[in-house]
A and B are shown apart, each in its own frame.
Chain A
Amino acid sequence: EVQLVESGGGLVQPGGSLRLSCEASGFSFSRHEMHWVRQSTGKGLEWVSAIGISGDTYYSGSVKGRFTISREDAKNSFYLQMNSLRVDDTAIYFCARDVAPGGLSTRMDVWGKGTTVTVSS
């Protein structure tokens, strides 16, 4: 079964750090670009970051300089290191698989169930 499972969410104080993980199974992970997308309670989807198959990285303006995306193909996993967290980073974070041929897109066909990050004092 093709599956993505997020972990690492939790409660953290403003200014703190968290590392999210997304473990893939059921497909050739190394052949896919991967994304992080978040959603605050009652709000819309917000694209956060993506990583290409060669390790090229992309970030939204709201997280650039604070978040770092990485991947470890040997472990079928990718990560989101979140530093200098702010209250407005509070959201459900989804990982998703990009399935478009020829590079990054927003064509995400497999999603995890999400992990909740709460930034509060």
Chain B
Amino acid sequence: QSVLTQPPSASGTPGQRVTISCSGSSSNIGSNTVNWYQQFPGTAPKLLIYSNNQRPSGVPDRFSASKSGTSASLAISGLQSEDEADYYCAAWDDSLNGSGVFGTGTKVTVL
């Protein structure tokens, strides 16, 4: 089962910039777009970024993302206390019959 690799944790003080990496392979990130999710404890995930770098309506522009080759990254600039949450990348994987795959998740802590 393919998995996208993320660092388990990231942290910063209010106002700082935090970045989260997401490493995959040619069959997932290398071939398909990357989406990012934000999840608070006890709640369902929320789509944060889609199609590598697009923000849904209502998502603050301090959230940005990019993709290069088989890796992607999410950046939070001007970190705020309410950004403390878990973040997951996701992509479709073309191997075998095709499947979805999520990253391992990164807990962002605002110090």
B39 neighbours in A (Cβ, 8 Å): 45
Inter-chain CA distance A96–B86, complex, in Å, is 18
Query: Are A106 and B104 in touch, CB under 8 angstroms?
Result: no
Cβ of B97 < 8 Å from any Cβ of A? yes
Query: Are A45 and B32 in touch, CB under 8 angstroms?
Result: no
Number of interface residues of B (CB under 8 A): 28
Cβ of B101 < 8 Å from any Cβ of A? yes
Query: Are A105 and B47 in touch, CB under 8 angstroms?
Result: no
Interchain CB contact (< 8 A) of B44 among A35, A47, A106, A114: A114
Instruction: Compute the total of residue contacts between A and B using a CB distance below 8 Å.
Output: 76
Q: How far is the CB of A50 from chain B (nearest CB, A)?
A: 6
Contact A107 to B98, CB < 8 A, known contacts A44-B105, A45-B45? no
- B32, B44, B45 pick with most chain A CB within 10 angstroms: B44
Cβ of B1 < 8 Å from any Cβ of A? yes
Query: Are A61 and B1 in touch, CB under 8 angstroms?
Result: yes
Contact A47 to B98, CB < 8 A, known contacts A105-B92, A106-B35, A114-B44? no
Inter-chain CA distance A35–B45, complex, in Å, is 13
Residues facing A in B25-70 (CB within 8 A) are: 32-33, 35, 37, 39, 44-47, 50-51, 56
Cβ of A78 < 8 Å from any Cβ of B? no
Residues of chain A touching chain B, judged by Cβ–Cβ distance below 8 Å, are 35, 37, 44-47, 50, 58-62, 94, 99-100, 104-109, 111-114
Other 7 A-B pairs with CB < 8 A, given A44-B102, A60-B100, A108-B37: A35-B100, A37-B45, A59-B97, A60-B1, A104-B92, A109-B47, A113-B44
Report 14 cross-chain contacts, Cβ distance below 8 Å, ordered by A residue: A37-B102, A45-B39, A45-B102, A46-B102, A47-B90, A50-B100, A60-B100, A61-B1, A61-B96, A94-B44, A104-B92, A105-B92, A106-B100, A106-B101
